[in-house]
Amino acid sequence: MQYKNANSKKILLAIILYLFWVGYFTVNNYIEEKNRIYKEIDTKLISGAKILPLLLSSNFHKKEMNKDTVSKEEDWRNIILISKVADVMGLKYIYSLILKDGKIYFSSSSGTAEERKTHHNLATYFTHYDDVPPEVKMAFDTGKIQFAEYSDKWGDFRSVFIPMLTKGKVTYLVAADIETSYVKSLLKDSLFKSLMNSLWFVMFLVPFIIFYFRELWYSKKALESKVEKRTKELNKTNEKLKKLASTDPLTELFNRRHFESLTEPFLELAKRNDTEIAIIVIDIDNFKKINDTYGHKVGDDVIVDLATILKRGSRQSDIVCRWGGEEFIILLANTNGKSVLTIAEKIRKKVENLVRTLEDGNELKFTISCGVALVNKESNTSIHNVIDRADRALYKAKNSGKNKVVEST
């Protein structure tokens, strides 16, 4: 009897400890998933807000803003364009705010299909934002990015407010909203999955602990097998999610898929305004020889070196992308042929002058070739055609000695 009581106490202790572990696992798993969800949402909000200045005319916020600064026709064109981008990015609203005489006004905004149709609650230029959340004023006061969850007459949102500064030292905010119902649905699904996983563990193991103590070892093996299977499934899912992510893991630049999703609005903007956009296609010269001679690790280091130069050598408004392998693309808005060739040439020279010291003490230098193509409002073409033109110019640079910048004719 004493032996049975001792075993009963051990089983009871095992059950208590096991349930404690399940509870801890559930809470910890939910917290990690919640943090992941918010990180992805906030990244999407920041991307949506930061793209807004590129959709407006280059001097839009440089002007003295008052109720007559922007015409109704220009404001309506901005609403249509920004709304398209908001829809593509899965955001409820993208907009900008200005501070005038102590009051907050919309300077640009997207609108839902219903708002654009009826004009009810449509935030047009110089609409007064009367029930503004306190984070908006905080962003204006501190000059720092602010996140907020709040309700106003347009709905319930999680939002980001990012201060931007014009050359005239005038601050305005770019912002993006996503509905909190969407956030809550993701969190609810995550919590449900965590609870179901935990319940499955409890239902599967508790009966074995209570009634089949002698089989505990075998049930543990079965559990480990199932956990291993589940882990493999999760790893496969994570790999798919990584492929769908917007950035290249090696260089942290935009990947090809995300780049292509952002380019068409820029082409439409160039056609609408009297501006040009340009594509620079960049390829590392003799990259295969570098890989074959020094190994893939050095090859990766060379790719990262080039990516760093492209980040530092491009403007804040440019979109830099790793197109694939050793090939990169830069999209430049509000530019012209002379300035884009200057930028490309500066990048080429920086790469040419870069010296990488290898582990064995030897030095490695490499060069790049660049193809440049421009498009303006008179061009009736797609962004893929512009890239093809830049690619052909790159081909000419390669065939004429490499380490050159060639403009498409």
Q: What is the DSSP track for 43-76?
A: HHHHHHHHTHHHHS-TTGGGS---TTSS-HHHHH
Tell me the H-state helices in 212-275: 216-244, 256-272
**Which conformational region is residue 108 in: left (phi greater than 0), alpha (psi within -120 to 50 degrees), or beta?**
beta
Q: Give the Cα separation of 136 and 15 in Å (integer).
A: 51
| Residue 323 confidence (pLDDT) above 60 | yes
Mean pLDDT of the chain: 85
Q: What is the largest CA-CA distance in the chain?
A: 96
| Residue 347 confidence (pLDDT) above 80 | yes
Q: Pick 305 or 314 by higher pLDDT.
A: 305
Q: Give the Cα separation of 128 and 169 in Å (integer).
A: 22
* Range of 23-37, 362-376, 392-406 with top mean pLDDT: 392-406
Summarised one tens digit per residue, pLDDT across range 118-152 is 999 999 999 999 889 999 999 999 999 999 999 99
pLDDT at 3: 46
CA distance readout (Å), 257 to 54, 212, 243, 329: 19, 53, 9, 12
pLDDT at 257: 87
Report the catalytic residues: 326
- Indicate the pTM of the whole model: 0.46
| Residue 176 confidence (pLDDT) above 70 | yes
pLDDT at 211: 57
What is the DSSP code string of 158-174?
EEEEEEEE-TTS-EEEE
Beta strands 171-179; 155-165: pairing state: antiparallel
| Residue 284 confidence (pLDDT) above 60 | yes
Residues 6+ apart with CB under 8 A from 80: 116
DSSP letter at 254?
B
Q: Pick 198 or 167 by higher pLDDT.
A: 167
What does the block give as tokens for 335? 């530019």
Beta strands 327-335; 356-357: pairing state: unpaired
- Whether 307 and 253 have beta carbons less than 8 Å apart is answered as yes
pLDDT at 1: 46
Summarised one tens digit per residue, pLDDT across range 213-254 is 554 555 566 667 777 888 787 777 666 666 567 889 899 999
| Residue 6 confidence (pLDDT) above 60 | no
| Mean pLDDT within 64-86 | 91
Phi, psi of 326 (to 5 degrees): -100, 15
pLDDT at 198: 67
Domains in the chain (CATH in brackets) are 1-211 (3.30.450.20), 256-407 (3.30.70.270)
| Mean pLDDT within 255-269 | 82
DSSP letter at 246?
S
Q: Give the Cα separation of 18 and 220 in Å (integer).
A: 12
Residue (of 279, 300, 259) closest to 381 by Cα position:
279
| Residue 48 confidence (pLDDT) above 60 | yes
| Mean pLDDT within 71-100 | 94
pLDDT at 335: 81
The amino acid that residue 323 corresponds to is W
Minimum mean pLDDT among 14-23, 48-57, 113-122, 146-155: which range? 14-23
* Range of 40-49, 62-71, 163-172 with top mean pLDDT: 40-49
